[in-house]
Amino acid sequence: MGFAIVPHRGTLAGGSFTHRMIQSVLVANRGEIARRVFRTCRAMGIRTVAVFSDPDRGAPFVREADEAIALDGSTATDSYLRIDLLLEAARRSGAAAVHPGYGFLAENADFAQAVIDAGLVWIGPSANAIRRMGSKLESKKLIAAIGVPTLKSIDLTGLADREMVQAAAEVGYPVLVKASAGGGGKGMRIVDGPDDLVSAVRGAGREAEAAFGDDTMFLEKYLRNPRHVEIQVLGDTHGNVVSLHERECSIQRRHQKIVEEAPSPAVDPDLRSRMGEAAVAVARAVDYVGAGTVEFLLADGEFSFLEMNTRLQVEHPVTEAVTGLDLVRLQLLIAMGEALPTNLLNADLTGHAIEVRLYAEDPLAGFLPVAGRLTRFEIGEGVRVDSGVESGSEITVHYDPMLAKVISHAPTRSEAALVLAAALQSASIHGTVTNRDLLVRILRHPEFLAGETDTGFLERHDPAELGAPLPSTEDATHAAVAAAMHAHQTRRSEADVLQTLPSGWRNNPTDPQITVFDGSAGEIAIGYRFSRDGATVTIGSNSPVPFAHTVEDDTVTLEISGRRRRFRVHADGDRHDVDGPTGHTHLVARPRFPTAAANAEPGSLHAPMPGKVLDVLVAEGDQVSVGQTLLVMEAMKMEHTLRAPLDGVVTSLRAAVGDQVEADATLVVITESET
C-alpha cells in the first residue's frame, strides 16, 4: 500500500512550493491528544491511524481510529518511544504523515528526521529546529544572541558531583534542576542548598530518561513566584511567522501546569505586543515551521525566555477558544505546504478561556497519582472536554494520570471561571480519587478571580485544604441518606413479595433500620423507619426527624426538615458514589455482619500504588529515623519517595531494586526504638 501524498507544484510571492495532499495520518501518541488530532482529521476527510501499547488495547482512541496498529509492550520505553515500531506501523498502515502529539517523541529530532527519511510528512518543525530548541542550554545561547533576555543556566553533562555543586553555587540558590529534553513537569527539581543537589540531579535524570529517553540535565536560576506566560506561534514554509497571543499557565503543581487561561490577566496590549514580537523573533531564529510555543517567566513587568516547545501544547484549546481557530487543522495545512491565512496576522481575541487538567491523583497526599477503574465519567454540557478516558476506563501505572482537559469560554474571565467550576462540581467522576475539588476551589478562590496568580499559588494555599471534599458534613450526611434510600429501593425492587411496601414497615413502631457508611468525613450512621404515621430518619445520634423521599432510577429526591435536595446515586456493591448539589461524596457501606480484619503489622511501610522499585537505601538491621528516605518507586512516569513512619530498626525488608509491587504491598517493617 503506497503513501497517500499527491504533490503539486505552485507559486507564491517569494518562490515556489510543493503542495502535498495528505490523505492519511498516523498519530504517534495516545489518549486525549490522539483523539484530538483524529477529530480534526475526520473533519478534513483524512484517514486516521492509531498505535497502541498492551494497556491501551481497549482505549477510546484506539476504537476511534480508522485503523490501529499494535506496538506491544506495556511501558512507554517499550512502545511509544520505539522509533522503529512507529515507522513500521506507518509502513503497514500506509499512512502518509505522522503527527507526534505532545510528550513521548514529539520533540525528538531523531524521530522527526527518521519520519522524513522514510518518505513521510512530518507534521511539525524541522529536525534542525527541534534539535536547536530541544537543547535548552543551546537554545538559551541562541536566544540571548538575538537580544531576548534569558535566565542563567549551566550544563551538567560530564560533571562530577563536586563540580555540580560548584556549578549550582555559580548559578546561585535556589536552582532548578531541569531535563534538557523535558517538558510537562517531568525531570525537574527545586534545590535550595548543596546537600540535596546531587540526589536531585540523579532522581530527575532517571525520571527524564523514563519519560523522554534522554537524561541530559542542566541547572537554571530559579525565580520564586513569577508568572508563567507563553506565546503561541505558527510558522509556514513560506517564511511567515505569527503570534496568536499569550496564555498564562502560572498555577502549577510539581512544575506541571494544572490551570491555563487566555488571555493573561497580567498582560496589557503593550506587553502583549512586545512578548509577541520576541516570540516571533525566537521562531524566526530557527526557521520555525508549524505550531510551537515560546515560554517566558514574567515578573514586575519584565519577561525572560524560558524555553521553546517545538510542538502543540496541552493547553492549546484556550487559544483556539479565544481566536476561533483550529490549531491542529492549521498544523495539517502547513504540512501540506499551504501559506498561513492573512487573517492570522491580526488574530483578534474574543472573550476569555480557561482550561483545567483533571488528574487521577490525591491532593491530600502530595498529589500522589492514583490507579484504578473509572466506573463513571460524565461531564455536562457548556464546556469543552478533551479526554482520553470514558466510563469503564482503566487508569494504569504506565502513563501520565491525566483524565481530561476541561475548557470554558465566556465573555468575561470571571464568568469563564464560574462556569467551569460549576461544570466540574456537577460532573459524575467515580471510581478513583481526582483533583476535581481542588480545581473547583482554585477557580472560585478570591485571589484567582482577582487575577493574582503566580507559580507560588499552591505554596501560599495548602493543596490539602483546597483539595478537601466540597460537600460539607451536612451535605455528606444527606448524601448518605440518599444512598441508603437508593439501596432500600433496590432491595425492594428485587424482593420476591410485597415489593410496594417499604422495608421494615409495621403497624406498630419498631426500631429503625440502620445503615452505616464510611466516607471522607468518617463514619455516618443512617437510621430510617417507615410506619403508618409516616417516615423518620435519624442521622448519627440525633433525634429522628420526619422526611420524605422519591427514587427514580439513579435520582433520589429528599426533603428533610423542609429542605428539598436532589442526588444522583451510583451503587457498585458496597460502594456508593453520590453526586449532590455541592459535589461528590464517596461512601462505603459497612457489612451488616462484618468479619474480623487482620491488623496491619506495626511500623510497616506499604506501597502507595502499583509500581517499580528503583532504589533501596536501607538494609535489615539499620537504625532509621522518622522521615528518612527508605525506598524510591516509579509509577505513572514519576518518582515517589517512601520515608520511615517512625524511629526504629528495619526488621524486615521485602523489596529489592527492580521489583514490581502491587498497591498496599508491605515493603519494609520497622520496629519502634525503645525510649
Q: Which three cell numbers stand for residue 11?
A: 507559486
Of 2, 619, 671, 7, give the one whose Cα is nearest residue 335: 7
CB atoms within 10 A of CB 224: 11
Question: No. of H helices and E strands in the chain?
Answer: 17, 41
Task: Tell me the one-letter amino acid at 460.
Answer: R
DSSP letter for 657, please. T
- C-beta of residue 24 within 8 angstroms of C-beta of residue 121: no
Residue by residue, what is the 3-state secondary structure of 139-161? HHHHHHHCCCCECCEEECCCCCH
Of 584, 61, 663, give the one whose Cα is nearest residue 370: 663
Q: Report residue 590: phi and psi, to 5°.
A: -75, 145
* d(C-alpha 65, C-alpha 658), whole Å: 35
Task: State whether residue 532 is helix, strand or coil.
Answer: coil
CB atoms within 10 A of CB 465: 11
The CA-based dihedral angle spanning residues 557, 436, 576, 477, taken in that order and rounded to the nearest 10 degrees: -60
Look at residue 636 in the predicted model and tell me its pLDDT. Answer: 59
- C-beta of residue 231 within 8 angstroms of C-beta of residue 296: yes
Task: State whether residue 533 is helix, strand or coil.
Answer: coil
Alpha helices in 355-472 (DSSP H): 413-426, 436-444, 446-449, 457-460, 463-466
Q: Which three cell numbers stand for residue 479?
A: 448524601
Residues 6+ apart with CB under 8 A from 58: none
The CA-based dihedral angle spanning residues 470, 472, 475, 479, taken in that order and rounded to the nearest 10 degrees: 60
* d(C-alpha 652, C-alpha 629), whole Å: 16
Q: At what angle do helices 127-134 and 136-145 cross, to 10 degrees?
A: 90
Task: State whether residue 136 is helix, strand or coil.
Answer: helix
Q: Is the peptide bond before 125 cis (omega within 30 degrees of 0)?
A: no
Which class for 523: exposed (0-12), middle (13-18), buried (19 or more C-beta within 10 A)? Answer: exposed
Look at residue 11 in the predicted model and tell me its pLDDT. Answer: 33
| Cross-strand pairs, 584 | 579
Look at residue 398 in the predicted model and tell me its pLDDT. Answer: 87
With a cut of 50, list the residues of the chain below it in pLDDT. Answer: 1-17, 499, 595-599
Of 316, 309, 242, give the one whose Cα is nearest residue 40: 316
Residue by residue, what is the 3-state secondary structure of 570-617? EEECCEEEEEECCEEEEEEECCCCCCCCCCCCCCEEECCCCEEEEEEC
Look at residue 622 in the predicted model and tell me its pLDDT. Answer: 87
**Predicted structure pTM score:** 0.82
* d(C-alpha 186, C-alpha 178), whole Å: 8
CB atoms within 10 A of CB 24: 21
pLDDT digits (tens, 9 = 90+) for 318-339: 999 999 999 999 999 999 999 9
Task: State whether residue 177 is helix, strand or coil.
Answer: strand
**Rounded alpha-carbon distances, angstroms, from residue 224 to 108, 193, 205, 455:** 30, 15, 23, 8
Instruction: Transcribe 294-320 into DSSP letters.
Output: EEEEEETTEEEEEEEE-S--TTHHHHH
**Rounded alpha-carbon distances, angstroms, from residue 489 to 51, 235, 545:** 45, 61, 20
Task: Tell me the one-letter amino acid at 287.
Answer: D
CB atoms within 10 A of CB 324: 12
Which class for 415: exposed (0-12), middle (13-18), buried (19 or more C-beta within 10 A)? Answer: middle
Look at residue 7 in the predicted model and tell me its pLDDT. Answer: 33
Of 494, 514, 492, 512, give the one whose Cα is nearest residue 503: 492
pLDDT digits (tens, 9 = 90+) for 644-675: 878 888 888 888 888 888 777 888 888 887 65
Look at residue 108 in the predicted model and tell me its pLDDT. Answer: 95
* d(C-alpha 299, C-alpha 297), whole Å: 7
* d(C-alpha 316, C-alpha 656), whole Å: 42
Size of the chain in residues: 675
Instruction: Transcribe 190-220 into DSSP letters.
Output: EE-SGGGHHHHHHHHHHHHHHHHS---EEEE
* d(C-alpha 348, C-alpha 338), whole Å: 22
Strand 97-99 versus strand 24-27 pairing type: parallel
- C-beta of residue 655 within 8 angstroms of C-beta of residue 616: yes
Look at residue 376 in the predicted model and tell me its pLDDT. Answer: 96
Task: Tell me the one-letter amino acid at 648.
Answer: G
Q: Report residue 164: phi and psi, to 5°.
A: -60, -45
Q: Which three cell numbers stand for residue 378?
A: 460524565
Task: State whether residue 349 is helix, strand or coil.
Answer: coil
